[in-house]
């Protein structure tokens, strides 16, 4: 099995334990091999550790995931001592995954460092092979911008969002089916940023474009994209409410609520908070209307 074959695994609940057994067995086999022949087997071992980290993060086993990611990055550090250019894509991927974990734990200072280092590595790789690595540059920029926004580093966040948006627009021209969801995500994230900065016109433009894309995606694959469509509708409704565009706000809240209630029926534990949030937004609008 190649190293790249191990990067992906089925995260369906029924397959989680099977995946875990597969990766743990691979790690057990590779540790003694790496001790005897580190240059050959340490790279494979680092990929297995990254996969185990991803699996643990999927299961919300935060400290276990952190352990795997950090051990994998130690391997990359040791490989770099021998060869500075050894497996930079694997290192960049591990840094990105660790950054996501840190951000989920509100460790944003650490996440900024790891996302930044991942971005630098992907930029170098994209200079040599843009077809392969430019999507990773856009992902790192978007992840960094979200974290910068949360840390109130607003100039940096705006810069990185807009670069991610430019790259993803370019990628969609080349391959719409693969990159359209990522463009929609960046547009929605940029709308959130604009709204927080009271740049309502820009926020509306970004939300509306994201909404158009998510409608298209949800028609093709409702199981995957309905939740993103509902979230963007909620964001747009909130924006319209702040601008006293009551009818438009009510319309988008109501459509979002219909979608979230449908999602709630299949996964009540995951979507109960979303239903409650949209209902609260509608109640606030009703109060404003009745007080006039």
Query: Would you write out the chain's pLDDT as a tens digit for each of its 292 residues?
Result: 233 333 334 445 667 788 888 889 888 988 888 888 887 888 888 989 999 999 999 888 999 999 999 999 998 888 877 766 667 888 899 999 999 999 999 999 999 999 999 999 999 999 999 999 999 999 999 999 999 999 999 999 999 999 999 999 999 999 999 999 999 999 999 999 999 999 999 999 999 999 999 999 999 999 999 999 999 999 999 999 999 999 999 999 999 999 999 999 999 999 999 999 999 999 999 998 887 6
Q: Spell out the CATH class of 1-86.
A: mainly alpha
The CATH topology of domain 88-174 is 1.25.40
Closest C-alpha to 189, from 220, 221, 241, 150: 150
What pLDDT does 182 receive?
97
Task: Enter the pTM of the model.
Answer: 0.84
- CB of 46 closer than 8 Å to CB of 88: no
What pLDDT does 153 receive?
96
Residue matched to tokens 């250019």? 85
Residues of CATH 1.25.40.10 domain(s) within the chain? Answer: 88-174
């Amino acid at each position: 099995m190649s190293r790249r074959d191990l990067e992906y695994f089925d995260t369906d609940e029924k397959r989680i334990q099977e995946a875990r057994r597969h990766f743990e067995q691979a790690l057990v086999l590779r540790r003694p091999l790496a001790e005897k022949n580190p240059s050959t087997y340490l790279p494979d071992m680092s990929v297995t550790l990254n996969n185990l980290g991803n699996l643990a993060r999927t299961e919300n086993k935060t400290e276990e995931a952190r352990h795997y990611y950090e051990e994998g990055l130690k391997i990359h550090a040791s490989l770099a001592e021998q060869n500075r250019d050894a497996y930079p894509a694997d290192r960049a991927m591990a840094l990105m995954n660790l950054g996501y974990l840190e951000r989920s734990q509100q460790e944003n200072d650490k996440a900024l460092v790891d996302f930044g280092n991942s971005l630098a590595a992907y930029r170098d790789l994209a200079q040599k092979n843009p077809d392969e690595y430019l999507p990773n540059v856009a992902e790192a920029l978007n992840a960094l911008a979200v974290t910068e926004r949360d840390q109130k580093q607003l100039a940096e966040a705006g810069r990185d969002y807009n670069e991610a948006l430019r790259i993803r627009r370019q990628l969609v021209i080349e391959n719409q089916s693969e990159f359209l969801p990522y463009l929609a995500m960046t547009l929605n994230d940029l709308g959130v940023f604009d709204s927080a900065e009271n740049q309502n016109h820009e926020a509306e433009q970004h939300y509306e474009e994201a909404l158009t894309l998510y409608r298209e995606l949800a028609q093709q694959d409702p199981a995957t994209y309905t939740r993103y469509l509902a979230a963007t509708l909620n964001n747009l409704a909130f924006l319209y409410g702040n601008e006293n565009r009551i009818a438009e706000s009510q319309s988008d809240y109501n459509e979002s609520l219909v979608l979230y209630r449908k999602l709630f029926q299949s996964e009540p534990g995951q979507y109960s908070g979303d239903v409650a949030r949209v209902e609260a937004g509608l109640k606030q609008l009703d109060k404003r209307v009745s007080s006039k």
